[in-house]
């Protein structure tokens, strides 16, 4: 059972009753094809939109559930432009261009379903007029553009080992004056180093990492078995290789997992934490792992590092040594187009490496 998918499904079931009936109908229509995680994102987007409609007086509803189809039919392009402006400027909803495009895409999917697929009892479309059909959504995540944003924000070559050495040897010195931070570090550094090493030497997503169980690891074969993003089959796990560099860190963590984190026999999760007020360890959350990486990254002097940028760091290095198809398979990308990010990144990386080599030769 995919733990994160189960939690997302629970959140989905919790949110649905507060939504209008036609959104519930749309979500149920999409459920066989999209993961609960994707549908939860849809729901959050719809929640934002419906709240905005009510705040702007474009709906007379007193709560989300009562926003009517007729009110959606009467929306003008000016209203959609207003919502787009709200997403980009209002302090609580200030979003990147990519996020705004995604939110508008969510709306367009809903309006398309209501106007082109769903029918009433007399076989007429539920939505007679679809204002979102007029909305042009620019693709903002071309591989070249994404690569440009990532330049200079990843760990390259020797920086990977420097970051690992910092976590294992130097972070404790930096926080020595902070008793709480030092205690947390001394308790968790072996686990933390293992997690970061595993990402840097496998390229796993944080969701895949969180879902890992102890039984999913084959140290001798350097294999782990993960639920891949976008695959709804909960009966099949994909084998993913990790590098030799991660083996020692995994071995070090596994020797203390049960004792240090007081793992109950029923707990299968690989990475554990003991929550405040609890006596036993339980599966670490995505948020805990993300915050842990940021904590070390800031002290290391690279505050822009995140779990996803660690994955990008691995992928860039991996692509330099392999082809685009092997990189696509290792990362679990649905399309080689996504993997093209690293083709653009490695052009820059190779140029920097050549420049460094020339300088070293000139100095010697």
Residues annotated as catalytic (active site), given as ranges:
205, 229, 308, 311, 333, 342
Helix (H) or strand (E) holding 254: helix 245-260
Q: Say which residues have a Cβ less than 8 Å from residue 190's Cβ, sequence separation at least 6.
A: 249, 252, 253, 256
Q: Let me know: does 315 contact 155? Beta carbons within 8 Å.
A: no
Question: Which pair of structure tokens corresponds to residue 288?
Answer: 């805990």
Q: Which helix (H) or strand (E) holds 51?
A: helix 36-55
Asked whether 61 and 67 are in contact (CB, 8 A), the reply is yes
Cβ burial, residue 60 (10 Å; 0-12/13-18/19+): exposed
- Selection from 354, 348, 351, 358 nearest residue 316 by Cα: 348
CA atoms within 13 A on the CB side of 252: 16
Residue for token pair 């080992």: 161
Q: Would strands 223-226 and 238-241 be described as parallel, antiparallel, or unpaired?
A: antiparallel
Residue 194 three-state SS: helix
């Amino acid at each position: 059972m995919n733990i994160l998918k189960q939690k997302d499904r629970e959140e989905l079931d919790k949110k649905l009753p507060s939504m209008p009936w036609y959104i519930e109908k749309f979500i149920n229509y999409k459920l066989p094809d999209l993961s609960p995680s994707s549908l939860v994102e849809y729901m959050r987007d719809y929640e934002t939109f419906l709240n905005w409609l009510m705040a702007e007086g474009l709906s007379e509803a007193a709560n989300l559930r009562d926003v009517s189809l007729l009110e959606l039919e009467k929306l003008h392009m000016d209203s959609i432009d207003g919502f787009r402006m709200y997403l980009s400027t209002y302090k609580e909803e200030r979003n990147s261009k990519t996020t705004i495009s995604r939110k508008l895409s969510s709306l367009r999917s809903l309006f398309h379903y209501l106007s082109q697929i769903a029918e009433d009892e007399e076989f007429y479309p539920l939505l007679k007029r679809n204002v979102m059909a007029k909305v042009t959504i620019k693709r903002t995540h071309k591989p070249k553009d994404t690569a440009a944003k990532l330049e200079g924000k990843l760990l390259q070559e020797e920086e990977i080992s420097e970051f690992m050495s910092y976590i294992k040897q130097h972070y404790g010195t930096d926080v020595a004056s902070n008793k709480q931070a030092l205690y947390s570090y001394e308790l968790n550094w072996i686990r933390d180093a293992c997690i970061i090493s595993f990402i840097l030497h496998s390229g796993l997503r944080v969701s895949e990492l969180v879902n890992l169980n102890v039984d999913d690891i084959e140290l001798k074969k350097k294999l782990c078995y993960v639920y891949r993003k976008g695959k709804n089959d909960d009966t099949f796990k994909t084998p993913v290789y990790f590098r030799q560099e991660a083996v020692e860190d995994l071995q070090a963590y596994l020797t203390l997992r049960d004792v240090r984190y007081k793992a109950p026999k029923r707990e299968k999760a690989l990475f554990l934490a003991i929550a405040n007020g609890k006596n036993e360890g339980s599966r670490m959350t995505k948020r805990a792992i993300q915050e842990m990486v940021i904590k070390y990254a800031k002290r290391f002097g690279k505050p822009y590092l995140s779990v996803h940028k660690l994955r990008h760091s691995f992928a860039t290095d991996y692509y330099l040594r392999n082809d685009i198809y092997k990189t696509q398979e290792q990362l679990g990308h649905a399309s080689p187009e996504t993997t093209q990010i690293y083709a653009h990144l490695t052009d820059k990386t190779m140029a920097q490496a050549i420049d460094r080599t020339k300088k070293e030769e000139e100095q010697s």
